Amino acid sequence: MTNTKTKKIEKEKVVAETINGRLAMLGLMAAIGAYLTTGQIIPGFV
């Protein structure tokens, strides 16, 4: 018989990572949109 311990992931961590991922994708879409409309990654920054 082997002793196996299963790790339980807390719900708060799952929610935090989901929000982090969604905000990262939003930032990526904003950067792509800025590049397509202005040709610069950070508009106004030389």
Torsion of CA 26, 31, 35, 38, to 10 degrees: 90
Domain boundaries, the chain: 11-40
Contacts of 41 (CB under 8 A, 6+ apart): 31, 34, 35
Quick one: pLDDT at residue 16? Answer: 97
- pLDDT of the chain along its 46 residues, tens only? 677 788 898 999 999 999 999 999 999 999 899 889 988 887 777 6
Cα-Cα-Cα-Cα dihedral sign, residues 19, 20, 23, 24: negative
Q: Which pair of structure tokens corresponds to residue 14? A: 């799952």
